Amino acid sequence: MKIFQIKSHVDPLIADGRLRMTEPGNPQNYWQRYVSADCGAPITLGEIILDFCKEPRTRQEIAERAGIHIDHMKENLQPLIAGGKLKMTIPAIPTSTRQRFVIHGSDIIVFSEEALIEFCRVPRVRIEIMKHFDYNTAEGMKNLLRKLLRNGKIKYLNPEMSMCRWRKYIKAE
C-alpha cells in the first residue's frame, strides 16, 4: 500500500476516485494521508489504533504504528476512550508509565478501585495486589490503599500489624 502526502499530486487522484483520505472529516489535518481507493485495510487513525490495540499497547507503540508523534497521542486516544471503543488498563491512574490501551470488550484485567476492592474479597497483601494488576509503583499503591482504607471500602484483616509490610487487606462489608 502506497501512502502519498504531496497535495498537488493527490488532488487529481482524489477527483478520479483512485485515492481516499485517511481523515476525510478533517481534510486540512497535518497528519492527513492518502491511500488507494481499492485498499480494504483500516485507513483512519482511529481504525489503525483500534486494529492495533487488540492486545494491550503503550502510547509509544501506538504512535509508532500510526505514524504520528507521541505528543499527538492524547488528541487521538481521547475520542476513542470517550466513545467506549478503547479502554485504559489503569483508569485510576491515567498518566501511569505502565498504562496500556486495549479495545473495549477484551478480557484484559483493568486496574481500578472497584477491581482492587473485588480482588480483596479474599485477604491479600500489597505485593500480591501489585503482581495481580501488573502494577510496579509501591508508593502509588500505598496511596491508593490508604485512600480506600480512609473511605471504608477495604480494611485490615489484622489491624494489630498495621505497620507490617505483610498486613492483609480485605473488602469491608
What pLDDT tens digit does each residue of the chain (173 aa) get? Answer: 444 456 667 778 777 877 777 766 766 766 667 777 676 655 678 888 898 998 889 999 998 888 788 888 888 889 999 998 998 888 877 888 888 899 887 777 777 788 888 999 999 988 888 888 777 777 778 888 888 999 999 988 877 766 666 788 888 87
* Owning domain of residue 159: 113-171
- Which pTM was predicted? 0.58
Last residue of a domain, one of 85, 107, 129: 107
Same domain, 28 and 51: no
Same domain, 95 and 78: yes
5 three-state secondary structure:
coil
Q: Where are the beta strands (DSSP E) in the chain?
A: 19-21, 34-36, 86-88, 101-103, 124-125, 154-156, 168-171
Strand-pairing partners, residue 36, are: 19
Same domain, 94 and 121: no
For the CA atoms of 70, 71, 75, 77, what is the dihedral angle to 10 degrees? 30
| Residue that is written with C-alpha cell 507503540 in the block | 61
- CATH number for the domain spanning 79: value is 1.10.10.10
Same domain, 16 and 56: no
